[in-house]
A and B are shown apart, each in its own frame.
Chain A
Amino acid sequence: MSALCPPPSPAVAKTEISLNGDSPLLAATFAYWDNILGPRVRHIWAPKTEQMLLSDGEITFLANHTLNGEILRNAESGAIDVKFFVLAEKGVIIVSLIFDGNWNGDRSTYGLSIILPQSELSFYLPLHRVCVDRLTHIIRKGRIWMHKERQEHFQKIVLESTERMEDQGQSIIPMLTGEVIPVMELLSSMKSHSVPEEIDISDTVLNDDDIGDSCHEGFLLNAISSHLQTCGCSVVVGSSAEKINKIVRTLCLFLTPSERKCSRLCRNESSFKYESGLFVQGLLKDATGSFVLPFRQVMYAPYPTTHIDVDVNTVKQMPPCHEHIYNQRRYMRSELAAFWRANSDEDIAQDTTIHTDESFTPDLNVFQDVLHRDTLVKAFLDQVFHLKPGLSLRSTFLSQFLLVLHRKALTLIKYIEDDTQKGKKPFKSLRSLKIDLDLTAEGDLNIIMALAEKIKPGLHSFIFGRPFYTSVQERDVLMTF
């Protein structure tokens, strides 16, 4: 991050963003490949801080760097490629999403990048997927808008016989701003409230003298079981930050350290927004005693979510992975198609469009009761409280439990791998798998499958074939084998 650097030319538009907390993000940039001038930066977003860590010139230099070499880009149609740089010489890490789009009548290459100091590498890596997923989707939308802009632009040229180059593509910037700011806010909130990678078991429910001391036994069992069935992805809501955070920490015990760093504690004073893609997050209810979850963002989370209300001790869960992914994809496609059809800026404003004219109504009741009971978590909870609290006995016992889960998940993957010859043949012996691997309880199978999904993405969809079947339907089908 040297101070010396060539001045940018011409000046780049910049948006300064005020954040509540410290921002680990140095800047975000949008650059494109100009067929005459090469890589050029179109826009810079930077947090408003007293101390400028990177000058605009440096940011421009780095952003240009992300597109260097992309003249050789060889990508599939519609691909949004991710590049990740750790440039020790400059002391920064850069995450770039490179994509092709139509602009000025030409097909060109673009790059949306975020820049962080290199010292934040270990902070950022667990959040990489969250950031990339979110930026990817906004690029999908932005790309459509650029395309539409081009069409409208040509119409304008025909009508007015004029061309103003500077106007083109401008409207993608507000769209990108709409996601860049939340990403900055997310990183800022994670900097202050992320769950530590090492959790002291004494801060959790598992430190109680007996089960049921802090919360009801059945509630705890349901919460942990469902949390594991939804790949460790949970939202904990309530009126007391302390109570919420205790459950958040408890659930995080069942995650890997990396996943914990992608989880967030509840803020005392006011609630954070729901953030799609975090593993566990604590959210404070408002004065009316409710917390409104944004449907779209819940759907866009990479895994299904468990909803836990610590005030009324309820646990609800979303459908299993394959169903969730299928619904998510349908929703995404619908959203993009609607966007494609939108005619004006008003139509494309984020998260506000409701299409009332469609005959199809989305199923808003995505959270349902936990139907499948498990034996794994139940046995664990029955047993762990027999060990004396305050020592490391319970931690050891917990690590044994987690080891069993992970090993079962890997064995399950290997079993399916053997049976299907690494996916070459369809999997037809779910019943044998359940018996052989001692997963006859539906809840147990769900937990192990969820864990397996995390390390072998797509496993659910592969096993359960037709992903649009509901869980119940597919079980009916599979049990007939």
Chain B
Amino acid sequence: MISAPDVVAFTKEEESEEEAYNEPALPEEYSVPLFPFANHGANPWSKFSGSKFTKDFILISEFSEQVGPQPLLTIPDDAKVSGTFDLNYFSLRIMSVDYQASFVGHPPGCAYPKLNFVEDSKVVLGDSKEGAFAYVHHLTLYDLEARGFVRPFCMAYISTDEHKIMQQFQELSTEFSKASECLKTGNRKAFANELEKKLKDLDYTRTVLHNETEIQKKANDKGFYTTQAIEKANELASVEKSIIEHQDLLKQIRSYPYRKLKDSDFHPYEPECVVDQANTIFDQDSTTSNPAEPSEMHHHARMPSYTPKLIKAKSAKCFDKKLKTLEELCDIYFFTQTLDQLNQIEKMFRGDVCYLLTNQISKALLKQQTITNFLFEDVCVLDEKPEKQYGGCQLSNQDTVNTKCLEQFLIPKVLISMGSYKSSVESVPIKMEQEIEDSQEPEVTEPIAFDQENLEYLDADIKGSISSGESIEVLGTEKSAAVLTNSESQASLPIQPSPQMIRSKAAGRRTISEDSIEVLSLCPSESLIPEDFKASYPSAINEESYADDEGRGPYLSPRLNPANVKEMEGNSEEEKLLPVDSACCIGKENPNFVESLPDLPQKHCDDDDGVVSIPPQPYRQVDQGFHVNFSDCSSHDVSGGLLSYELDPHYLSSREASKISLDEYSDSTSYMSSAASTCSDRTSSPAHPLSHFSERHRKKAGQNALKFIRQYPFAHPAIYSLLSGRTLIVLGEDEAMVKKLVTALSIFVPNCGLFAMPVNHWITSPLNIMDFQKWKLIGLQRMVSPAGVNMLHSLSRYSRYISILDVDSKTLRCPLYKGTLVPRLADHRTQIKRGSTYYMHVQNILTQLCSKAFLYAFCHHLHLPINETETEDSVVSRRRNFLKFHLGLVNEDVKVVQYLAELLKLQYIQEPIRGSNPVLRFDYVPSFLYKI
């Protein structure tokens, strides 16, 4: 394997030193250190401890024609940044060479001075003795008073880490090029203005000289020219020549961007906001005005008022004049923009390069996981830099998250969405009340505009259910958005943009006697039209057995398509379809299926042999509805009751839903504390909205979480609740304490969609069942008033849906947890010292969890019978074995993965439910009370 002839001397150091030849040993300067990080007390975090500055900074330097290279400013603009590092010396080093020198000088035969439009140069160099390494971006600005009209500048990113500069070279180059282009654009504008002023001065001077010459001519009666007259004539000629020269310069500077645009790789700087109107007036009188020139020309504005003055034709080249500052050389707007950009660059590349690299790699990898990102990732962060490259790789810009994130903040319309309730138990009429509330949270539903009257129509408070603790509540079907879109009433609604975002909220109230079984079906988020409710009727509900034979888990799942439901209603044969496990997006192969990719979700319903033959493409535009599917949960079945809604004969149709009248929903008897349930209370925006976890927040959340797992011995069941989709209420009197705990626990909460915000840090009003669907972690104020007692009572009624962490009494009421997953996530003996490190650890475990859920959701042949003879039991058994043996899950861990897989599938097969979580989970398992 190894070639012997290649073996060069491999002698021990000691032996080589004892050479018989007695030759001097190899000087250390010609050798290599045996330990790369042994010198200067260096270690991987401080490879060069001798450097005189600690943090990276940006230096702008100039090669002044008067004093030579000199530093101008640093970013951050703080003397401490550079420490004792000699900026003058370093400026000399980086500016001593004209890296922009061109082979070709002024073209021969040209009568007028030519501006040299040189490209920026980029140089990476260092000073190994000082431990300073720099990316240096050389650029040239124009100055009418400068030698050759040029002023060489450079912007340098200086760091002690040599590898960082090279590893981030392309990113640095891209960012500095943008800043440079901004500065140069401003400079061209300022230069053009300066030329215009000069031209006016020259024009004025010419007029004055001309007049004086004429006067002299008239006064000249001697018949010959005096010396003065000759001088005047020469001066006039000089002025005229100067005018032509300056006109030519103006033409050159103005035609530059137009010429450059022809280069495919030229990207002119585009300001982010409109420049002052006064500056955008195009100078029509300009000698070189060209309407076809690009937008940059509009910045070459005519000065509003300038009084020309008499000047000398030849500008004195003196060295005692003050050169323009960088700010004067550049239009102020562009100068400010450039500084902003440089500040941004400094922040962007700040810190250890290992974090930068991993961040870039992670972003690239996350872009390949659009289907799972919503669960635990900060999706907006992924799109901060859509064109970001890593390792020289141009990333594909295919995700849609960016636009969605933008949409989230930019929709300026009044949006509304209402939930509707409908029952799936035919014999039990349910009265329900539809409510909405205002919210500050931007709603990203279909932008249905409402006028004020319609808003009033929907103005109602949220009510809580007062059903007995023994009853069974199940959230159900939602009216599809597609139906709404077709609504005539909606079509007639005028669009009236409003700065206030309206968020709808649906809540149900029941007047059902105890011991009844009722199933609620609601539309939690999608926009509904009030008229739809007016025209609806009480719904009938089909009762379903508690334990379903198939052993499906207690999940409530959205429907794929109302059309399918209609089919089911109309055709009882649909109920006898072969069991298609719609939970599995991968099924049996069906070659024909490829032909009908666009109708994939519908095919799921119609085709018992439905197989997904295309890669995951999230956010299919599919109507959604909630369905009820009872299953046996007491046995802790591993089947998980994955999506089976299509085949469930008891699902409600949209037609049924339309029969439910809004009036019918009204139930004054169950009204409870409506006054306390103010809109502002209920919809108070979470302190940390989804996808905007700052680094600081992460650190804080990590710290709090670390404290939590160390202080609370029952942290595991609490975290298990969150991971399995069971809403956790953090109850307490002290707002700060509650919020702190909610922040800590928020890192464990899976998001239910890109736009759903599952955490509410502080609520002061009573909760209802809708809240548990919407929020999975709630900070709730404990009130000492009688209302507070009621609130606690209602919480106990909801104990099937929720876990309650009482901050004041330090107790937790929730189901038992005996898995192994959470202990790895939250080990109270962990030696992790910092919150940010713990946050990273949690993020890591959650990524693994995500991966397991993805595998389970999309596993081939896991959810469907392999052949027709295979029973459902064997399929269930296969799933159970898969979870146990292939994913290594035990006990309750199974439910966590099932829940996450459920969310993944919902996200995959349908339009994400905006502003609300699609699943309300409940368990028929006893809760335990944990105490410290």
Contact = CB atoms under 8 A, between A and B. Distances in A.
Nearest to B827: A436
A398 to B, nearest CB: 8
Interface in A363-393: 364, 366-367, 379, 382-383, 386-388, 391-393
A203 to B, nearest CB: 17
B364 interface: yes
B786 interface: no
A339 B335 CA distance: 56
Nearest to B123: A85
A481 interface: no
Nearest to B12: A360
A391 B130 CA distance: 53
A159 B286 CA distance: 79
A69 B97 contact: yes
Nearest to A461: B37
Given A457-B44, A458-B47, A69 B93 contact: yes
Contact of A414 (B34, B123, B371, B840): B840
Nearest to B611: A388
Nearest to A463: B44
A414 B10 contact: no
Contacts of A76: 128-129
Interface string A402-429: 1110111111011101111011100001
Interface string B171-187: 00100000000000000
Interface stretch (A160-168, A226-234, A323-331): A323-331
B364 A333 contact: no
Contact of A462 (B1, B37, B129, B354): B37
B13 A418 contact: no
Of A361, A367, A402, A413, the most chain B CB neighbours within 10 A belong to: A413
B97 A407 contact: no
B680 to A, nearest CB: 39
Contacts of B2: 292-295, 298, 364, 366
Of B4, B47, B858, the most chain A CB neighbours within 10 A belong to: B858
Contacts of A456: 44, 354
Interface residues of B, number: 118
A387 B103 contact: no
B30 A140 contact: yes
A81 B391 contact: no
B226 to A, nearest CB: 49
B166 A128 contact: yes
Contacts of B840: 407, 410-411, 414
Contact of B831 (A144, A383, A399, A429): A429
Interface in B4-58: 4-13, 15-16, 19, 21, 23, 25-37, 43-47
Contacts of B887: 383
Of B4, B33, B97, B173, the most chain A CB neighbours within 10 A belong to: B97
Interface string A82-99: 111111111000000000
B417 interface: no
B836 A461 contact: no
B848 to A, nearest CB: 5
On chain A, which size bracket covers the interface?
A: 35 or more
B827 to A, nearest CB: 7
B104 interface: yes
A78 B392 CA distance: 31
B848 A404 contact: yes
Contacts of A74: 89, 93, 127-130
Interface stretch (A14-22, A243-251, A348-356): A348-356
Contact of B830 (A77, A366, A391, A436): A436
Given A353-B9, A364-B2, A462-B37, A332 B32 contact: yes
Interface stretch (B427-435, B629-637, B849-857): B849-857
Given A259-B391, A418-B834, A307 B1 contact: yes
Contact of A407 (B92, B125, B844): B844
Contact of B92 (A72, A298, A458): A72
Of A65, A336, A403, A459, the most chain B CB neighbours within 10 A belong to: A403
A270 interface: no
B517 interface: no
Contacts of B612: 391
B362 A407 contact: yes
A48 interface: no
Interface stretch (B113-121, B651-659, B713-721, B767-775): B113-121
Interface in B339-397: 353-355, 357-358, 361-362, 364-366, 368-369, 371-372, 390-393
B543 to A, nearest CB: 38
Contact of B8 (A87, A353, A400): A353
A388 B365 contact: no
Contact of A399 (B124, B365, B613, B832): B365
A458 B13 CA distance: 22
Contacts of A474: none
Interface of A: 2, 4-5, 58, 61, 65, 68-69, 72, 74-79, 81-90, 121-122, 125-126, 128-129, 140, 143-144, 147, 197, 256-259, 261, 292-298, 307, 325-326, 329-338, 340-341, 351-355, 358-362, 364, 366-367, 379, 382-383, 386-388, 391-393, 395-397, 399-404, 406-411, 413-415, 417-420, 422-424, 429, 432-433, 435-438, 455-459, 461-462, 467
20 contacts: A65-B101, A74-B130, A78-B31, A81-B125, A84-B123, A84-B124, A197-B392, A256-B391, A294-B3, A295-B6, A296-B7, A333-B34, A335-B8, A338-B9, A355-B9, A360-B15, A379-B888, A386-B859, A397-B854, A455-B354
Interface of B: 1-13, 15-16, 19, 21, 23, 25-37, 43-47, 89, 92-93, 96-97, 99-104, 118-130, 162-163, 166, 169-170, 173, 353-355, 357-358, 361-362, 364-366, 368-369, 371-372, 390-393, 586, 612-616, 824, 827, 830-834, 836-837, 840-841, 843-845, 847-848, 850-851, 854-855, 858-860, 862, 882, 886-888
> Which 9 A-B pairs give the minimum distances between C-beta atoms?
A258-B391, A423-B43, A392-B615, A78-B29, A257-B393, A362-B10, A88-B119, A338-B9, A2-B103
